[in-house]
């Protein structure tokens, strides 16, 4: 019988009572692995109430002691890395090595959060006026919430709750219902690390749970990562209900290949970035823009044998480059986009449709696909495919190559491959995209910088993690103080100035 997931509220695993459930698949087998309870608004409310009850005492814990909980949580995740990676792979489909990378990138944000005593320090000015000092402090918002996608079930939750709880907030996490096992396990480990009951809660669910979070008066801030249409909805709904919201959306990241690029390195980087994790990454590199037909011809010539070498396998195969996609429905969506590309006139150099893995014919596998001569008017170029599909475009000039990502509806990440430092510098300065890689195919910043795109890739004014994360999960209080020294007070009816 399949396992059943409930929720984690007030420090305890609790079964769902809405009567609604979703299926959690093992994508390698194409079989239902577990059922997950889908929370009602009443269950979300119970999680928020638990978080609200726990938050004042947690905020009163000094930052150094909160940091010690984060240190212990990090140690426990590392100690359970193999178990967590296997669980993640079973439910998502990414290979175990990539699952460990998912966990490790999340842990890097937890490491950053361990520095919270320093990160929460305010400012102080002595003598800002006659016998007047001014200082500021950063204080937690209260209850924060996170809504996370299926493609990084460990990293993105840790991006959110790691910073939020270190700042003294309590947290309600609504992970993807497609792979809920790891988020629930992380909540258990946080409790084991010394986190108080109710500080970190997990509710599984679908749109009903999302709407309950966005409209709940007890939640002060919501962080979201997912598709752009849903991100826009989350931002509009959450802000309309008085919440601070950051909502990260979709992407269509470009890799610009200049004629002087180290083509061997560029091809290796592009293949890994385009097909790793079956392309199910918001920072994947699904578009390569070659400057000049000669560059494009050489690029295709070298890409084909490298793509042919890719091994698609089950998630536990140590030799597989990538595993299955998350669901059968998602595989069908990707295959529809491949057919759409053919219908639109792109040249299908390699077709990954119809791929079957011997012994695992029911798994949600799809082989690598490669298009050449993709043009900006094609819908397959405008949309995010989110699968193992690489599209090659041809630009006559560097100017044209810069315009393509700059004018695209998404602005998450972009990369340029070149040996020319001046060209790279100008590109980084001018391109209308939030994160830039120079000879780096997946420009995800380290945890002490911030992550965030532009245009329809992000809604809201603050990025994920880094110092932007601290700002998002706190508000500033500024105190102006004067201590009397025994003299007669002087009345004044004008606004104080520094004159």
The catalytic residue positions are: 282
Write out the E strands in 250-346. Answer: 254-257, 287-291
- Three-class secondary structure of residue 26 per DSSP: strand
- Tell me whether strands 347-350 and 287-291 are parallel, antiparallel or unpaired: unpaired
Instruction: With beta carbons less than 8 A apart as the criterion, state whether 466 and 449 touch.
Output: yes
Q: 359-380: b or e for each residue (b if 16 or more CB lie within 10 Å)? A: ebeebbbbbbbbbbbbeeebeb
Q: Starting from the edge strand earliest in sequence, which strands make up the sheet with 435-438, in order?
A: 347-350, 369-374, 389-395, 287-291, 254-257, 413-417, 435-438
Write out the E strands in 131-253. Answer: 132-140, 143-147, 170-174, 200-202, 221-225, 244-248
Tokens 């007669």 sit on residue:
488
Q: Starting from the edge strand earliest in sequence, which strands make up the sheet with 3-5, in order?
A: 3-5, 31-37, 21-26
Nearest partner of 165 among 194, 193, 195, 189, judged by Cα:
195
Nearest partner of 92 among 352, 335, 389, 324, judged by Cα:
324
Tokens 């003598």 sit on residue:
127
- Three-class secondary structure of residue 370 per DSSP: strand
Instruction: With beta carbons less than 8 A apart as the criterion, state whether 18 and 206 touch.
Output: no
Nearest partner of 447 among 108, 8, 90, judged by Cα:
108
Nearest partner of 367 among 321, 315, 301, 329, judged by Cα:
321
Nearest partner of 403 among 431, 433, 372, judged by Cα:
431
Q: CA separation (Å) from 265 to 294, 319, 405, 494?
A: 17, 21, 22, 67
Write out the E strands in 334-473. Answer: 347-350, 369-374, 389-395, 410-411, 413-417, 435-438, 454-455, 458-459
Nearest partner of 248 among 93, 57, 412, judged by Cα:
412
HSE at residue 55, side-chain half, CA atoms within 13 A, is 25
Rounded-to-integer distance, Cα 273 and Cα 265, Å: 12
Q: Where are the alpha helices (DSSP H) in 388-489?
A: 398-407, 421-430, 466-472
């Amino acid at each position: 019988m399949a396992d059943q997931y409930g929720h984690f509220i007030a420090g305890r695993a609790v079964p769902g009572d809405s009567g609604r459930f979703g299926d959690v698949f093992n994508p390698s087998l194409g079989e239902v692995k577990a059922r997950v309870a889908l929370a009602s608004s009443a269950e979300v409310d119970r999680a928020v109430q638990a978080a609200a009850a726990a938050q004042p005492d947690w905020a009163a814990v000094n930052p150094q002691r909160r940091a010690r909980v984060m240190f212990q949580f990090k140690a426990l995740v590392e100690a359970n890395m193999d178990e967590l990676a296997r669980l993640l792979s079973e439910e998502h489909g990414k290979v175990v090595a990539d699952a460990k990378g998912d966990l490790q990138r999340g842990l890097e944000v937890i490491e950053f959060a361990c520095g919270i005593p320093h990160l929460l320090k305010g400012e102080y000015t002595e003598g800002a006026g006659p016998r007047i000092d001014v200082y500021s402090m950063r204080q937690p918002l209260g209850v924060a919430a996170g809504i996370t996608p299926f493609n990084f079930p460990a990293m993105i939750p840790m991006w959110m709750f790691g910073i939020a709880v270190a700042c003294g907030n309590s947290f309600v996490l609504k992970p993807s219902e497609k792979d809920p096992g790891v988020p629930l396990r992380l909540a258990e480990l946080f409790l084991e690390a010394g986190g108080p009951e109710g500080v970190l809660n997990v509710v599984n669910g679908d749109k009903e749970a999302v709407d309950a979070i966005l409209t709940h008066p007890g939640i002060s801030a919501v962080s979201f990562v997912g598709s752009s249409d849903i991100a826009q909805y989350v931002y509009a709904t959450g802000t309309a209900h008085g919440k601070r919201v950051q909502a990260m959306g979709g992407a269509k990241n470009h890799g610009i290949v200049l004629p002087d690029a180290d083509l061997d390195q560029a091809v290796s980087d592009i293949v890994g970035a385009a097909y790793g994790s079956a392309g199910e990454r918001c920072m994947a590199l699904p578009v390569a823009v070659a400057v000049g037909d000669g560059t494009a011809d050489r690029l295709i010539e070298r890409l084909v044998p490298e793509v042919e070498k890719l091994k698609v396998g089950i998630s536990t195969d140590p030799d597989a480059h990538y595993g299955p996609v998350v669901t059968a429905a998602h595989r069908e969506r990707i295959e529809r986009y491949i057919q759409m590309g053919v219908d639109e006139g792109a040249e299908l150099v390699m077709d990954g449709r119809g791929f079957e893995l011997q012994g695992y014919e029911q798994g949600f596998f799809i082989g690598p696909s490669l298009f050449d001569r993709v043009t900006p008017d094609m819908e397959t170029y405008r949309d995010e495919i989110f699968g193992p599909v690489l599209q090659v475009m041809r630009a006559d000039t560097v100017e044209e190559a810069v315009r393509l990502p700059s004018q695209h509806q998404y602005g998450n990440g972009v990369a340029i491959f070149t040996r020319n430092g001046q060209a790279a510098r100008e590109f980084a300065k001018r391109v209308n995209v939030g994160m830039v890689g120079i000879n780096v195919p997946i420009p995800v910043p380290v945890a002490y910088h911030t992550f965030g795109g532009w245009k329809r890739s992000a809604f809201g004014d603050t990025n994920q993690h880094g110092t932007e994360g601290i700002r998002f999960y706190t508000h500033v209080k500024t105190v102006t103080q004067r201590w009397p020294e025994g003299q007669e007070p002087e009345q004044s009816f004008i606004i104080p100035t520094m004159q």
